[in-house]
Structure 1
Amino acid sequence: MEEDLTSRLYSLAWRVTPRLPDPIAALVFDSIAIGMRWTGAGGMRQLRANLAQVLGRPADSPAVTTTAARGVHSYLRYWREFFGLTGWSRDRIRDTVVFESLDRVTTARDTGRGVLLALPHCGNWDLAGAALVLSGHEFTTVAQRLRPEGLYQRFVNHRTALGIEVLPADETRRAVTTLTRRLQAGKVVCLVADRDTSAAGIGVRFCDAPTTFPAGPARLALRTGAALMPVSLWYDGARLRVRIHPEIVPDRDGTIRTRTAAMTQELADVFTDAVRRHPHDWHVLQPVWPATIDQG
């Protein structure tokens, strides 16, 4: 029953949002954000706990309270843009997204190498992906399978329409095989990599606390020789900025595990700096660090 209601609400948002004038759509989604702030619904307590770790302040401090308030509006902006993207023209997508150092991707691909872009849940990764495709870099990614199945397929179809190939995360062998082939063929793979949902993550320090990150980005880069490049995203007024960071170059010596761990820690270091620069645009309302799991 709950899954059916969720599916209906998502379908309504997909149908209605592209038809709304931008100011009306913003008012609707900002109203939802205000409701989340006042009621604490939708993971707000966990967001505050996460931001407390990012900022190094108590969860009830003014700094965390202010950042969380901005953060939930940024989060609902993501959803407003996500649902409305089907109504965006190519020119609007290009004009909204500003890439920094996208030439790093082009240069690596020009030598025949694949490129693995690893990014945190910041800004709007779907909008950035649509702009990346329009820049000539179609890519493959992985997504968690949602329930009900029809809702998951709707998400997949939505991203496929933007030119993005989506693989289900729960079909591990298929996903790894396909991603490996894409990278070996000199193509681009994008993976969100700031939250580990498996039991096989790599231990890292992220924002000065221990947690785990997925090992996949570094392992795939080592296996295929692809260039692993961190990405940071943040809102800048009406625009979305996307920075492609320099390649994380693996050590020549050591075991696969130690090299994977070192690369993953470098990734966590870049993400730490990115998230602390724009904490309100980091959209993670689920536990990241064991010590900050909301027990309420």
Structure 2
Amino acid sequence: MILLGSSEEKRGKTMNDYEQFIANIKRKTGIDLSQYKEAQMKRRLTSLYEKKGCQSFAEYFHLLNEDMNLLNEFLDRMTINVSEFYRNPGRWKVLEKRILPRLLASNKKLKVWSAGCSTGEEPYTVAMMLSRYIPLTGLSILATDLDENALQKAKRGVYSERSVAEVPTLERQRFFTKEGEFYTVNEKLKRTIIFKKLDLLAEPFDTNVDLIICRNVMIYFTEEAKDTLYQKFNAALKPGGVLFVGSTEQIFNPKQYGFETEDTFFYRKIEQ
């Protein structure tokens, strides 16, 4: 354990060291780590630089600046890639039985966006679910994430048995090929997804979207960053479109952002 000391001077230096690191990373990569909750981010970063034998954020940035492989490893660790198919299945059942039928009643070519798609389980889940209503050839789902390594894994579509545990048997037989201990998504399902790198906090969004799924992403952001995202998501949706968030991301005042609650963790854009 590194003891930071108790003096105001030492605490000030530590804070300046961290703030300078954040500024350096933003200049080098365009990623603004200050938008993430500081206590969580500092813990993760401190653990990372200690494992590399560094004594400060400045020393760690020097390593990252000199070694592209180390920088890529750092970026991979900064993003949260915990995912599985049909994560929290009860909420997916609501999407299947209540939300999708309403959206499809007025439009059979839905514009769907998986924001913060991680390694792909979420957009593939949506595609399988939509295939119960419309042919695969009629599907086109945008899936974005900040982590290029995660996106590459998503494009490969190879998953462990644990990841596909909640996939219904019929879907598993229809959309996956089992190879040893792993399951590979078939090409027909892969073709329904467009994977793309996107920084939710810094880049513009598409518009006229019917369904945005952004689950277990915003819990890592500051309140100010969340406010910005909710407003951007609302602007991206069609009137009546839906934002589907994670089980720890309930919006307590949805009207503030132009939403109304359609079901738990589902928010409909208010039609003007």
TM-score under structure 2 length normalisation? 0.34
Greater RCO, 1 or 2 (C-alpha within 8 Å, sep 6+): 1
Which structure: larger Rg?
A: 2
- Structure in which a larger fraction of residues adopt helix: 1
